[in-house]
Chains A and B, each alone.
Chain A
Amino acid sequence: MSIRLRELIRNVRACKTQADERACIHKECASIRTAFKEESNELRHRNVAKLLFIHMLGYPTHWGQMECLKLIAGNKFLEKRIGYLGLMILLDERQEVLMLVENSLKNDLQAQNQYIAGLACCSIGNISSAEICRDLSPEVEKLMVGSNPFVAKKAALCSIRILRKCPELVDTYVDRVGTLLGSRNHAVLLTSLKLMREMCIIEPGMVDQLRRHTATLIAALKNLVLSGYAPEHDVHGIVDPFLQVEILRMLRILGTRHAETSDQMNDILAQVATNTESAKNAGNAILYECVLTIMAIEVESGLRVLAINILGRFLINRDNNIRYVALNTLHKVVGQDAQAVQRHRNTIVDCLKDNDSSIRQRALELVYALVNEANVKVLVKELLSYLMACDVEFKDELTQRICHVVEKYATDKEWHVDTIIQTLLVSTSFTSEETVCSLIALITSNPDLQAYATHKLCATLAARTTQPVLLQLAVWCVGEYEYTINALMKLTSRFPAGTPAHAMIHKQLAHYSTSMSLELQQRSAWSKDGLQIMFMATKDPSNPSVTRVEATFNNSTGGDMEGLNFQVAVPKYMQLQMKPPSSTAVTAGSSGSVKQLFQLANSMHGQKPIVLRVKIDYNTMGRAVSETGQVDNFPPGF
């Protein structure tokens, strides 16, 4: 027996456990399947409606798709309506069923009844495949420029899907936009603006062709701003904020990098920025969009000041939503006007202490963007205090980013070492190969820093840190520089057996009391003009004549190095196998991001040392650099 949808909902609501619910749904699905098999036409739309509910609960319903097609092909409007709704919701990634519906869609697009044509548009817009889009685009186009706004608005949005699926059709829409913009219907204007935006995304060259509509858009916006109360589009005293926002956004696209068009917009933008009521959310939505447009295009400095001031007001607003978008906007404009954003630095830093994690996250992004060589010490201090207070789930990411800004902007090397140590101490579980490499690179390339760093790192060992990166760094420094084996021996006695530090120190000791049964690791480096190559050599104890070398490229200059080509030549008694590099571009200030592996087989192992001739070619700051050199400082035994 078939039950009504309401009854099904009641039954499901009465279920006390998940298992009860499953049983109830399975029973109902079985009876729906039977009804479908029996082809009972009267119950079909009711059953499809039930499937919508079942689908919403998260049960598989794709087997009902064919029934939707039958409803769509029928004559009754309600059944068609349910059929289309079912099709749009039940459809999954297997879209073969769509091919079967194409004919119905085509018929419905041509229907006299606007609601049927609208339904077909809606379905094509939501779910159609590239084939259907291509086949039906002429019909949709006709509806779009027809006189019926109810259908035209849907056809315009439908065209967005058509363009996404078949970008090559974009040219045919250029002339249609003008017709659409001539409409007085707000929904048609709104959807045609969305279509214009899509065209510009698909084909950036479209912007030039669409620029001729600038005056129309400005007039439409002026009309909205100046017109009095319009009940059908009123939102708390503001006329159609959705349309205003969309026009402002399109103006932004048209005015970007185009002085003449930007000039045209000056007055209207000033008008919107000064006259929009900011007491309600709708007004703030418009101001927000207006600020983004002003900051993106080429406007007078006065207007820009106006925009920055609006953001300043937003930033101290009591409404968290407004503060959120203020932070978001400042982040977007920091590239264009860092100075203006710097003025709000203290307020932004205060947002790091906010109760709302969304606000904190936004503030954090902004603080990263604001860090430079001049303020790195102040801002990193703030970030560090945030790191101490923040949720555990953010700690690792935050640590990574603090390390990053320190590496990028620190000018004081001792402060650099101190800060990294301090950051790692706060973030107890953070691990990062990159941080290790970069600090080691800093220490090796600055002899006057070596004693200082070793001393500081040892102090963390003495404080019995369990921070993995610190342990690694400390033990490395101890091994590499200051301490003799005796000192290491002394250190071990300070750590109870079983602690990570104890194990690490033992590993390092074992390294010194080398026998060939242990894996050997040695480093060597080559450096010139800001490019440093670290060679990390490893030996396979069972076959000591073979050495695997990992070259790590560090760029300490301010310019990216591209087209990197690293070549190695070896004497006749050696054989070389090179792997490709992980990337041919070493970005400015990066360390450890590009690596290249090669393997050496020394046929005279034990008699002749490893000697490499290296050649490095790359382009940086518009010039080609070519360097050659010799690397022969591998330790004896290699």
Chain B
Amino acid sequence: MTIRFVLMVNKQGQTRLAQYYETHKMDERCALESEVIRKCLTRTDTQCSFYEFRGYKIVYRRYASLFFIVGVEGDDENELAILEFIHSLVETLDRYFENVCELDIMFNLEKAHFILDEMVMNGCIIETNKTNVLAPIQLLDKAGG
């Protein structure tokens, strides 16, 4: 019933951000991640944004060159709401980075994490109001961080 991981991946399948809300051994995490990503990459645009994999429900959406992938556990999560959440996350990143692209996330990895931390915690959505989400990081920027 909660979000287990959030991945941002480019279309070559390279991870650009990975946030897990459960602990994995490093090798297991790498194996899981690469399989999830491989499945996303092989699905076509006309297929739906959900699939089931190793007990997770994967909800993903592609924006230009970036895939946003969310792994959810349990059977009572609203897939459409998760999809809407991904969109909200992308819009928030867009507002901060002005049309977010792969390089923005890669070269500002910690900032992307700061933003995600304001939106998801312990696998639950905290905040979707973009102004509220961005307030802490904008303050940090102002302070010359």
Enumerate chain A interface residues (CB-CB to B < 8 A): 5-6, 9, 49, 52-53, 56-60, 77-78, 81-82, 85, 88-89, 91-93, 115, 118, 121-122, 125-126, 150, 153-154, 157-158, 160-161, 186-187, 190-191, 194, 197, 232-233, 235, 240-242, 245, 249, 281-282, 284-285, 288-289, 320-325, 328, 355-359, 361
Please list 19 pairs of residues, one from A and one from B, whose beta carbons are closer than 8 Å in the complex, sorted by A's number.
A58-B26, A58-B30, A58-B33, A81-B114, A85-B114, A92-B25, A93-B25, A115-B136, A118-B136, A187-B126, A190-B126, A194-B124, A241-B84, A242-B88, A249-B78, A281-B80, A321-B49, A322-B80, A325-B80
- CB pair A357–B26 under 8 Å, yes or no, is no
User: Which single member of A56, A197, A281, A285 contacts B109 (CB below 8 Å)?
Assistant: A56
- Minimal beta-carbon separation of B103 from chain A (angstroms): 9
- Given contact pairs A282-B84, A285-B80, a sample of 20 additional A-B residue pairs in the complex whose CB atoms are under 8 Å apart: A56-B109, A77-B143, A78-B140, A78-B145, A81-B140, A82-B110, A118-B136, A121-B121, A122-B117, A126-B21, A150-B132, A154-B126, A186-B129, A235-B84, A242-B128, A281-B87, A321-B48, A321-B80, A358-B48, A358-B51
Tell whether B38 is near chain A: CB-to-CB under 8 Å.
no
> What residues of B have a CB within 8 angstroms of the CB of A233 in the complex?
128-129
Closest to A282 in B: B84
> What residues of A have a CB within 8 angstroms of the CB of B17 in the complex?
56
- Minimal beta-carbon separation of A447 from chain B (angstroms): 45
Tell whether B81 is near chain A: CB-to-CB under 8 Å.
yes
Closest to B19 in A: A89
- Minimal beta-carbon separation of B69 from chain A (angstroms): 14
> What residues of A have a CB within 8 angstroms of the CB of B85 in the complex?
242
- The contact string, 1 if C-beta is below 8 Å from chain A, for chain B 90-118, is 00000000000000001101100110010
> What residues of A have a CB within 8 angstroms of the CB of B127 in the complex?
153, 187, 190
Q: Given the interface contacts A77-B143, A78-B140, A320-B46, does A241 sit within 8 Å of B122 by beta carbon?
A: no
- CB pair A9–B129 under 8 Å, yes or no, is no
- CB pair A153–B52 under 8 Å, yes or no, is no
In the bound assembly, the distance between CA atoms of A276 and B70 in angstroms comes to: 26
Top 9 A-B pairs ranked by shortest CB distance? A285-B80, A320-B48, A78-B145, A125-B122, A356-B47, A285-B81, A58-B30, A187-B127, A324-B48
In the bound assembly, the distance between CA atoms of A91 and B48 in angstroms comes to: 34
In the bound assembly, the distance between CA atoms of A281 and B132 in angstroms comes to: 23
Q: Given the interface contacts A153-B126, A289-B81, does A126 sit within 8 Å of B121 by beta carbon?
A: yes
- Minimal beta-carbon separation of A294 from chain B (angstroms): 15
- CB pair B125–A284 under 8 Å, yes or no, is no
- CB pair A85–B48 under 8 Å, yes or no, is no
Tell whether B56 is near chain A: CB-to-CB under 8 Å.
no
- CB pair A157–B109 under 8 Å, yes or no, is no
Enumerate chain B interface residues (CB-CB to A < 8 A): 1, 15-19, 21, 23, 25-26, 29-30, 33, 46-52, 76, 78-81, 83-85, 87-88, 106-107, 109-110, 113-114, 117, 121-122, 124-129, 131-132, 136, 139-140, 143, 145
In the bound assembly, the distance between CA atoms of A519 and B19 in angstroms comes to: 59
- CB pair B18–A242 under 8 Å, yes or no, is no
In the bound assembly, the distance between CA atoms of A356 and B48 in angstroms comes to: 7
Q: Given the interface contacts A78-B140, A82-B110, does A242 sit within 8 Å of B49 by beta carbon?
A: no
Q: Given the interface contacts A85-B114, A85-B117, does A358 sit within 8 Å of B50 by beta carbon?
A: yes
Q: Given the interface contacts A233-B129, A242-B85, A289-B81, does A158 sit within 8 Å of B46 by beta carbon?
A: no
- Minimal beta-carbon separation of A330 from chain B (angstroms): 14
In the bound assembly, the distance between CA atoms of A49 and B113 in angstroms comes to: 11
- CB pair B124–A245 under 8 Å, yes or no, is no
Closest to A58 in B: B30
> What residues of B have a CB within 8 angstroms of the CB of A115 in the complex?
136, 139
> What residues of B have a CB within 8 angstroms of the CB of A6 in the complex?
107
In the bound assembly, the distance between CA atoms of A8 and B143 in angstroms comes to: 25
In the bound assembly, the distance between CA atoms of A153 and B33 in angstroms comes to: 30
> What residues of B have a CB within 8 angstroms of the CB of A357 in the complex?
47, 51
- CB pair A158–B122 under 8 Å, yes or no, is yes
- CB pair B126–A52 under 8 Å, yes or no, is no
> What residues of B have a CB within 8 angstroms of the CB of A197 in the complex?
1
> What residues of B have a CB within 8 angstroms of the CB of A190 in the complex?
125-127
User: Which single member of B18, B23, B80 contacts A284 (CB below 8 Å)?
Assistant: B80
- CB pair A157–B80 under 8 Å, yes or no, is no
> What residues of B have a CB within 8 angstroms of the CB of A122 in the complex?
117, 121
- Minimal beta-carbon separation of A13 from chain B (angstroms): 8
- CB pair B46–A355 under 8 Å, yes or no, is yes
> What residues of A have a CB within 8 angstroms of the CB of B25 in the complex?
92-93
Closest to B34 in A: A58
User: Which single member of A59, A77, A281, A359 contacts B83 (CB below 8 Å)?
Assistant: A281
- CB pair A53–B121 under 8 Å, yes or no, is no
- Minimal beta-carbon separation of B27 from chain A (angstroms): 8
In the bound assembly, the distance between CA atoms of A310 and B94 in angstroms comes to: 34
Q: Given the interface contacts A126-B122, A187-B126, A191-B126, does A232 sit within 8 Å of B48 by beta carbon?
A: no
